[in-house]
Amino acid sequence: MIAPVLDDSTAREQRRFRRLHDLAAVVYWFIHASCLLVFFVTPTVTALTLCVLLLGTRMLAITGGYHRYFSHRTYRTSRVFQFLIGMVGTMAVQKGPLWWAAGHRRHHQYSDLPGDMHSPREGFIYSHYGWIFDPRWERTELERVRDLARFPELLWLNQWHAVPPLAMAVACYAIGGWSGLVWGFSVSTVVLWHLTYSINSLAHVWGTRRYDTTDDSRNNFVLALLTMGEGWHNNHHHYMSCARQGFFWWEIDFTYYVLRALAAVGIVWDIKEPPARVLDPAARTSGAGPVKLRVTP
């Protein structure tokens, strides 16, 4: 078999892609390793405060921004606030909002089937973090996020997603010194990563199933508390087009409460709620598959 011949520009682009991919892997494991410095720096009040604040703020940017807004468009907001939540989301060091949203839309299309980026059916480690190093998922699938790609500022943010977290790391050092950098940036980032990953991995193997979806999604109270409401994953896969993932009052969904507070002061609006037919107990055993993803500009 004769290998295809690549022109110079294509070969250069592939080499550039490989270098960036390898660099990202080095940075990823370096941030993990830097957490060991907690044994060598004093955990000051300032550093611990940075850790808690940055963990909570960036978690909200992922759950309420990257997930419920960019991926599913479950509420509306201004163009300025759209950019703001995208910028804070990049500080979570989970790449840009268009890449994240496109990948998540892919996940719902192929959930726990071939083509899913991070199904536990491919192995727990792969679904938790191994998929990050799979070059198949490196490209931003702009064809999946045309509603977002029409905003040049989001395209810019998606391309330069490394700039805000780098600025945040510098700010942590400026505010709290080495302790602020280690606790405020490294520790909070690694904890945030693995809490986010837990929805890809644990929420498809651990918990209960209220709805008979076509995937393995599960509701998990513990994960819901740790991820500000994302643990109501079976609810979400049954009906993904609403901002509320804890469908019932006893299902704590902190992200939804924050969105409601923002709506009360006019920052967001048109928050989509689960319709009555979804909340109807008969829907739990109807065997109906998950609602297809519908995106409106």
Q: From first to last of the 297 residues of the chain, give the pLDDT tens digit.
A: 444 444 555 556 556 656 667 788 899 999 999 999 999 999 999 999 999 999 999 999 999 999 999 999 999 999 999 999 999 999 999 999 999 999 999 999 999 999 999 999 999 999 999 999 998 999 999 999 999 999 999 999 999 999 999 999 999 999 999 999 999 999 999 999 999 999 999 999 999 999 999 999 999 999 999 999 999 999 999 999 999 999 999 999 999 999 999 999 999 999 999 998 888 766 665 433 444 444 444
Residue 293 belongs to a domain: no
Residue 99 belongs to a domain: yes
Residue 15 CB neighbour total at 10 angstroms: 10
Residue 291 belongs to a domain: no
pLDDT of residue 284: 64
SS3 119: coil
Residue 3 belongs to a domain: no
- How far apart (Å, rounded) are the C-alpha atoms in residues 112 and 122? 9
Residue 90 belongs to a domain: yes
- One-letter amino acid at 129 equals Y
Q: Using the 8-state DSSP alphabet, how is residue 41 labeled?
A: S
Tally of domains in the chain: 1
Residue 294 belongs to a domain: no
Which residues constitute the domain of residue 45?
12-285
Q: What is the 3-state secondary structure (H, E, C) of 198-230?
A: HHHCHHHCCCECCCCCCCCCCECHHHHHHCCCC
Four-CA torsion 141, 146, 151, 153, nearest 10 degrees:
-10
- To the nearest 10 degrees (0 to 180), the angle between helices 97-109 and 79-90 is 90
Residue 116 exposure: Cα atoms within 13 Å on the Cβ side: 22
pLDDT of residue 127: 94
- Token pair for 110: 């192929």
- Listed residue (89, 88, 85) closest to 77, CA to CA: 85
CA 27 vs CA 19, 30, 32, 93, 148: distances in Å:
12, 5, 9, 10, 28
- How far apart (Å, rounded) are the C-alpha atoms in residues 175 and 207? 41
Residue 30 belongs to a domain: yes
CA 248 vs CA 32, 154, 219: distances in Å:
37, 34, 12
pLDDT of residue 235: 96
pLDDT of residue 103: 96
pLDDT of residue 12: 64
Contact between 233 and 219 (Cβ < 8 Å): yes
Containing H/E element for 268?
Answer: strand 268-269
pLDDT of residue 293: 44
Residue 297 belongs to a domain: no
